[in-house]
C-alpha cells in the first residue's frame, strides 16, 4: 500500500523480477497504464521488456497480454498497458495520458 517502493540489493537479488511480476499482477486486476523508465530507451528491449515478456510467458497468459516490439509496449485484454520511455529523450515523457504507476529501473543511473 505504499506510494513509493525503493528496492535495494545486490546483482541478481530479484529487484527487477519482483517489480515486473507485481506490475503484471496489478494490471491484470485493475485497468491502469504503467510507465517503465530507464536512462536509455534502447536498453529496455533486453532488460525490462524482455523480463516482462518472459513472465507473461511463464504465467501462461500470452492470450491476455500482447507484447509489441515497436514501439515497445504490453497491452492487456482489460485495457491496461505498459509503456516504455528513456530519459535520453525527456521530451517524449511529456503528455503521456493517464499514467498511474511508474517503475524507474536502475534508478541509481538516473
Ligand X SMILES: Nc1ncnc2c1ncn2[C@@H]1O[C@H](COP(=O)(O)OP(=O)(O)O)[C@@H](O)[C@H]1O
Q: Which is nearer to Mg ion, 16 or 43 (CB)?
A: 16
Minimum CB separation from ligand X for residue 7, in Å? Answer: 7
Q: Show Cβ contacts of residue 19 under 8 Å, excluding neighbours closer than 6 positions.
A: 5, 7, 103, 105
46 as an active site residue: the answer is no
Q: Which is nearer to ligand X, 2 or 8 (CB)?
A: 8
The binder of 100, among Mg ion, ligand X, none, by C-beta within 5 to 8 A per type, is none
Cα dist from 78 to 11, 13, 41, 63, whole Å: 34, 31, 26, 12
CA torsion 93→99→101→106, rounded to 10°? Answer: -10
Distance from C-alpha of 38 to C-alpha of 106, rounded to nearest angstrom: 7
The catalytically annotated residue of 91, 105, 106, 109 is 106
CA atoms within 13 A on the CB side of 105: 28
The binding track of 14-53 with respect to Mg ion, each residue x by CB under 5 A or -, is -xx-------------------------------------
| Span 5-34, contacts to ligand X by CB under 6 A | 9, 11-17
Q: Which residues bind ligand X (CB under 6 A)?
A: 9, 11-17
Amino acid at each position: 500500500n505504499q506510494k513509493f517502493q525503493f528496492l535495494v540489493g545486490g546483482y541478481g537479488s530479484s529487484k527487477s523480477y519482483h517489480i515486473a511480476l507485481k506490475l503484471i499482477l496489478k494490471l491484470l486486476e485493475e485497468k491502469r497504464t504503467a510507465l517503465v523508465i530507464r536512462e536509455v530507451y534502447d536498453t529496455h528491449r533486453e532488460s525490462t521488456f524482455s523480463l516482462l515478456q518472459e513472465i507473461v510467458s511463464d504465467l501462461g497468459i500470452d492470450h491476455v497480454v500482447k507484447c509489441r516490439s515497436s514501439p515497445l509496449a504490453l497491452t492487456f485484454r482489460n485495457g491496461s498497458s505498459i509503456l516504455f520511455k528513456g530519459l535520453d529523450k525527456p521530451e517524449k515523457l511529456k503528455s503521456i495520458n493517464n499514467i498511474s504507476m511508474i517503475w524507474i529501473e536502475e534508478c541509481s543511473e538516473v
